[in-house]
Amino acid sequence: MSVALFYALAGAGLFSIGLHALLVHRHLLRKILAVNVMGSGVFLVLAAMAAPNAIALSDPVPHAMIITGIVVAVAATALALVLMLKLTAETGQAVLPGREEENS
């Protein structure tokens, strides 16, 4: 197994951990963190694919895509945080409404 493959598998693992947390937790701040972890997992797979072995020339296109992704992620995170605060100001709770009957 190459180093790159090892990191790519870790990226798949991070994505799965994030997906699980996204579905299991109800608090929106936790969901925002979960989406960020999922994104990092995807970036890790991309970066590992940029240098599949030590001999090959490192591919700058995935690196540029990851940088774009990191910036989009921080913008989305900031917007999501404001949306969460707005919802909390309206309802007093930082969870999505509509599930109360099931979880009472």
Partner 1 sequence: METLISWAIDVALVLLVVSLAWRALASTDLFKAIVLFIAFGLVLTLVWVRLNATDVALAEAAIGAGVTGALLLAAYAKLRATSPDAIVDRAGGISGIGAISLLILILLVAAALGYAVWTLPSDYAGLGKEVAANLDQSGVSNPVTAVLLNFRGYDTLLEIMVLLLALLGAWSLGITIPRPEAAPGLVLDTLSRLLVPLLILVAAYLLWVGAHAPGGAFQAGAVLAAAGVLMLLSGRELPAALATWPLRLALVLGPATFLMLAVITLILEGRVLKLSPEWAGRLILIIETTATISIGVTLTALFMGAPPGEEDR
- State which of positions 37-76 bind partner 1 (CB under 8 A): 37, 40, 43-45, 47-53, 56-68, 70-76
- State which of positions 12-31 bind partner 1 (CB under 8 A): 12-21, 23-27, 29-30
- Number of Cα atoms under 13 Å in the Cβ half of residue 23: 5
Rounded CA gap, 86 and 68, in Å?
27
- Give the nearest distance from C-beta 39 to partner 1 in angstroms: 10
Please identify, using beta-carbon distances, which residue of 44 and 101 lies nearer to partner 1: 44
User: In sequence order, which residues have a C-beta less than 8 Å from that of residue 77 and are 6 or more positions away?
Assistant: 32, 36
User: Does residue 35 touch partner 1 according to CB under 8 A?
Assistant: no
Rounded CA gap, 13 and 51, in Å?
19
- State which of positions 70-99 bind partner 1 (CB under 8 A): 70-79, 81-86, 88-89, 92-94, 99
Give the count of residues interacting with partner 1 (CB under 8 A). Answer: 78
Rounded CA gap, 91 and 28, in Å?
13
